[in-house]
Amino acid sequence: MSAVILAYAVAYAVVHVVATHQHAEQGPIITSRWVGLTTVRLSPLVAFAVPLVIATWWGHGALQPVAPAQADGGTPIGGEGSLIDLAGTFLVPLLAVIGTVVLVRYGIRWLLPLLAGQGLILVMAGTRAMIVIACVLTLVGAAVHGVRPSRRQVAVLLVMVSALTALISSTRVAAGREVFHAESGAEERISGLVDGARAIGSSEAQDGIAADLVYRFDGNTFGAQVYTSIRGASPPVGLTTVGNNMVMLVPRVIAPNKVASRSLIQRSEEAYLASHVGLSQHVDWLPTMFGVMVAYFGAVGLFLLAVLLALAMAGAERTLSRALTPARVVALIGLAQCALLYASGPQVFLVTLRSVVALVLVVWAVATVLRRRAEAGRHRQSEPTHPFHTVSG
């Protein structure tokens, strides 16, 4: 996998080097406060986020992933319902957008309190990746606006994120993973986190933290077993799972029976591949993007797909960076989220991409309405007012 990741990195870098030579500017330069997310109102974002946070705290929102065979109600995250879908899809990017608006509007001095609040909200979901991704996305959004943390802030932030992720691992050892399942409410989660904090210095908790750290940073187990299998008795699966993924992308309001009418291996790409190569369905594997894609057409196909993915991601990033509008900033944050979800595999990548498109369309529509209202207001007033400057993103 290291050679594939290197090929991806080289292709990604080539796009940026070529684009840099073609354009004199290195990216958008902020010359006005009416750019990017600087004029976005916090109140609607907070109003949307609060129900998702409450639902998550009570076990009806964003949940930790579980093994495919352990999924309740036929979904790969342990629950089923509109709030679970909404929170699992939008909570992390929404918190990142809120954090970006706060930092851009009020300054980088609010970075540590802001991200500490984010971490305390997301620790209740019991998923380490949510904490890390929300933190990184907030930093990406701020950096797009030219707002960057100091070295001291970065150091403190690393300690804070490490402590929160270690707390989740310790809680899983001390209170069990079940404390973060769909049926667990806020009281059970808080009690479990307290037990995890008390036990964090124990040898059992330390072993659990170390095991999680090694497993998550390795990420080669699933891909290696899939590759070994397709080199032997099991043939590549082609685009079969991609077709299944596309069916599962259809919103529930359009296809309400898409879960009930399909088997586990049709709903979950991880489950399909585990079944195809003879792996256990009761293990929460870390499939990774390339660990799954190697099953499509083998090693040669994987290299080609990795290069194509790199060209697509880098090209999209360069295109979006040419103008700083609310929709484009949200799209850049969304692309960063897709990249950070490498460990979850193509199915989660596609679901995340769908949510990014939805968020971008909403932001674009709101920005367009506000721009037109501002233009109408300027026509009605004798004195000029500040415009809500935006370019169609």
Residue ranges covered by each domain of the chain:
33-218
Give the C-alpha separation, 306 to 163, whole Å.
Answer: 34
**38-42, 161-165, 251-255: which range is least confident on average?**
251-255
Q: What is the mean pLDDT of residues 313-317?
A: 92
Q: What is the pTM of this model?
A: 0.84
Give the three-class secondary structure for 39: coil
One-character DSSP codes across 254-313: T-TTTTTTS-HHHH-HHHHHHHHHT--TTS-----HHHHHHHHHHHHHHHHHHHHHHHHH
Q: How many CA atoms within 13 Å lie on the side-chain side of 115?
A: 29
Q: What is the mean pLDDT of residues 284-304?
A: 91
Per-residue pLDDT reduced to its tens digit, 329-384: 999 999 999 999 998 899 999 989 998 998 899 888 887 887 787 777 776 765 55
**186-195, 205-214, 233-242, 377-386: which range is least confident on average?**
377-386
pLDDT at 389 over 60: no
Tell me the two tokens of residue 210.
Answer: 């170390």
Give me the pLDDT at residue 255, please.
Answer: 80
Tell me the two tokens of residue 254.
Answer: 């359009």
Find the distance separating the first CA and the last CA of the chain, reported in whole Å: 35
Dihedral, 109, 115, 116, 122 alpha carbons, nearest 10: 170
Please indicate whether residue 54 or residue 75 has the higher confidence score (pLDDT): 54
Give me the pLDDT at residue 233, please.
Answer: 76
Q: By CB neighbour count within 10 A (0-12 exposed, 13-18 middle, 19+ buried), where does 318 fall?
A: middle
Q: What is the mean pLDDT of residues 233-248?
A: 89
Give the C-alpha separation, 220 to 325, whole Å.
Answer: 38
pLDDT at 64 over 80: no
